[in-house]
Amino acid sequence: MRVVGLILLAVVVLIGAATGYFFLHYPNVAGPSQLAIDRTTDRLLRGGYLVNNVMGCRGCHSQPVADAFAGPPVPETQFGGGRAFHQGHGVPGVVYSRNITQGALREWTDGELLRAITAGVSKDGRALFPVMPYADYGTLERDDLYSVIAYLRTIPTVKNVPPPNQLDFPVNLLVRTLPHDAQFVQRPPSKEAIAYGKYMVTAAGCGHCHTRMDAQGNPVGVPFAGGREFNEPGQYLVRSANITPDNETGIGKWTREQFIARFRSNTEEDHRKMKVAPGEPNTVMPWWEFSGMTEFDLGTIYDYLRSIQPSRNAVEKFAAAR
């Protein structure tokens, strides 16, 4: 009996130590840096462009107009958070985007914001679930992120407190292992079209949506070959398109002009008027957002996508919601 008791005690102590280590060690990310970002005119312009038309912040951190094509944001909800990401988006549970308007961020330092956006750790040390592509944001240029943060400080307050997240076991624990310190790079010069286009693709999270993922949010498909599924119960089911340069199943036959025109033909306002009934095909691709990207940036994105390996993958984009 004594021996069994001792063994049991040892097991309990070991489990306790392992659990303690796990909670103390993860998220394994450096503390927030000491920063005071100048709100220069250049920063606000660049930040506004990235936040509103490139990096997806506005779409994810607002409520979408549910009956409009591609779900442009309801103006009064912009950046107020509370958009739900659930099983239908590959999240094991439900995660709500947070309020990132001025009022909600008043207590946050610039360093804490930089860490949340690029390493996935909140002000209070909580690991963020990677609905937001923070690992991608962590490989951008530091100065672009400073511009994003400078701009966030100017967004009018929206009063909204999103509900707490509910992640299923064991992801609610494993999520703590996902954050990593950012590895900032230099933005390539714009004359290096392919490298610059690749940088813009990372900033815009194209690969995040256009690559199949497993239930933990890890990419498992061929990058950019599409097929990631988004199911909005009662509304629509859409799968991301193959945007590798395959002739039959990708964008192999698209010209540069067609590609740019596909993005710029309908403005954000146009999208608000493009009504879609429940059950009709709709999409999560933020066409309204990217319609405000410059022709130059879209052109380099095309150049980069044309430079990657073509991959044959026929995707049936639209299906009935489950």
CB of 192 to ligand HEC, least distance (A): 18
Coil, strand, or helix at residue 313? Answer: coil
**Site stretch for ligand HEC (CB under 6 A), options 14-22, 35-43, 176-184, 199-207:** 199-207
Closest distance to ligand HEC from the beta carbon of 14 (Å): 30
* CA atoms within 13 Å, Cβ hemisphere of 96: 16
Among positions 17-46, residues that touch ligand HEC (CB under 6 A) are none
Closest to 223 (Cα-Cα) out of 252, 192, 201, 203: 201
Q: Which residues contact residue 41 at a Cβ distance below 8 angstroms, ignoring those fewer than 6 apart? A: none
Question: How far is residue 84's CA from residue 160's CA, in Å, rounded to a whole number?
Answer: 14
CB of 283 to ligand HEC, least distance (A): 3
Count the residues of the shown chain that bind ligand HEC, applying the rule CB under 6 A: 41
Q: Least distance in Å: CB of 9 to ligand HEC? A: 37
Q: State phi, psi for 18 to the nearest 5 degrees.
A: -65, -40
Binding mask 74-113 for ligand HEC (x = CB under 6 A): -----------x---------x-xx-x------------x
Which pair of tokens denotes residue 174?
A: 């494993």
Instruction: Say whether residue 135 binds ligand HEC (CB under 6 A).
Output: no
Residue recorded with tokens 């049991």: 8
Task: Pick between residue 38 and residue 124 the one whose CB is nearest to ligand HEC.
Answer: 124
| Residues of this chain, 233-252, that bind ligand HEC according to CB under 6 A | 238, 240-241, 243, 251
d(CA 250, CA 200): 20
225 binds ligand HEC per the rule CB under 6 A: no
Assess 290 for contact with ligand HEC (CB under 6 A): yes
When asked if residue 260 is in the footprint of ligand HEC (CB under 6 A), the reply is no
Tokens for 201, please give them: 């693709």
Taking the least distance from each CB to ligand HEC, the nearer of 19 and 98 is: 98
| Residue 55 makes contact with ligand HEC by CB under 6 A | yes
Cβ-based nearer residue to ligand HEC, 5 or 157: 157
CB of 124 to ligand HEC, least distance (A): 8
Q: Which of 148, 193, 260, 276 binds ligand HEC (CB under 6 A)?
A: 148
In terms of Cβ atoms closer than 10 Å to its own Cβ (0-12, 13-18, 19+), residue 24 is: exposed
Distance from chain centroid for Cα 280: 25
Instruction: Please tell me the distance from the alpha carbon of residue 141 to that of residue 190, in angstroms, as a whole number.
Output: 14
| Euclidean distance between CA atoms 126 and 209, whole angstroms | 24
Contact (Cβ atoms closer than 8 angstroms) between residue 158 and residue 79: yes
- Report the DSSP beta bridge partners of residue 95: 85
Work out whether 132 is an interface residue with ligand HEC (CB under 6 A): yes
| Chain residues in the site for ligand HEC (CB under 6 A) | 51, 55-57, 60-61, 85, 95, 97-98, 100, 113, 116-117, 122, 128-129, 131-132, 148, 152, 165, 201, 204-206, 209-210, 230, 238, 240-241, 243, 251, 283-286, 290, 301, 317
